[in-house]
Amino acid sequence: MYELFFQKFNEKVPLTSEEQEQIKAYLTPKKLRKRQYLLQEGEVCRAIAFVEKGALRAYTVDESSNEHIIQFAIEGWTISDLYSYLTGEPATYNIDALEDAELVLITRTAHEELLRTQPKYETFIRLLITGAYIALQRRLASNISLPAEERYTCFTETYPDIAQRVPQHMIASYMGLTPETLSRVRKKMADRR
């Protein structure tokens, strides 16, 4: 159940098996069916979810009830409303499963205990967030400086697995485009070959 989680953990910070058992005691497994919510806007985000299996997304809904996809997460990645998680403020994101999923949850209390007692956990989290920050900065740079087509190419090259598993209209939303526009961009690309 925790294989991938500890694989990723060990890649960042090697653990002895005692440390691993110690940490494991704080983790909560959770299964989610497709379309089930992990978090709804307005609730407090109680856990960081590491994806062992399946796919999830985080999204907002605006006044015109358009969905805007903030983030995808598949095997090996984490997802949460970090702001809500850390501050206890109501979440602004919804998170739900795009496929049946198996998660490893780090609840807020587990997080705080682990930070207090296990220095390697703090290092792990620091590296995790640093990686997420760098990835996000790339995404933002591509968003403000590239035209739609290059943004899409860039996305499919960086995340070929997500591009295949997720409906196109969600990818459009992730890139800040309408489904129609992405459809046309793809057509134009196809016509050129």
Partner DNA sequence: ATGGTTCCTTGACAAAAGTCAAGGGTTTTT
Partner DNA sequence: AAAAACCCTTGACTTTTGTCAAGGAACCAT
Site residues (CB under 7 A) for DNA?
A: 147-149, 167-169, 176-187
Neighbour-count burial of 62, counting CB atoms closer than 10 A to its CB (0-12 exposed, 13-18 middle, 19+ buried)? exposed
Do 39 and 60 touch, CB atoms closer than 8 A?
no
Rounded to whole angstroms, how far apart are CA atoms 110 and 122?
12
Candidates 2-10, 16-24, 60-68, 106-114: pick the segment binding a second copy (CB under 8 A).
60-68
Rounded to whole angstroms, how far apart are CA atoms 155 and 146?
12
List 82, 105, 148, 170, residue binding a second copy (CB under 8 A)? 82
Q: Which of DNA, a second copy, none interacts with 86 (beta carbon under 5 to 8 A by kind)? A: a second copy
Rounded to whole angstroms, how far apart are CA atoms 193 and 187?
10
Q: Does 83 bind a second copy (CB under 8 A)?
A: yes
List 130, 158, 168, 178, residue binding a second copy (CB under 8 A)? 130
Smallest distance, a second copy to C-beta of residue 83, A: 5
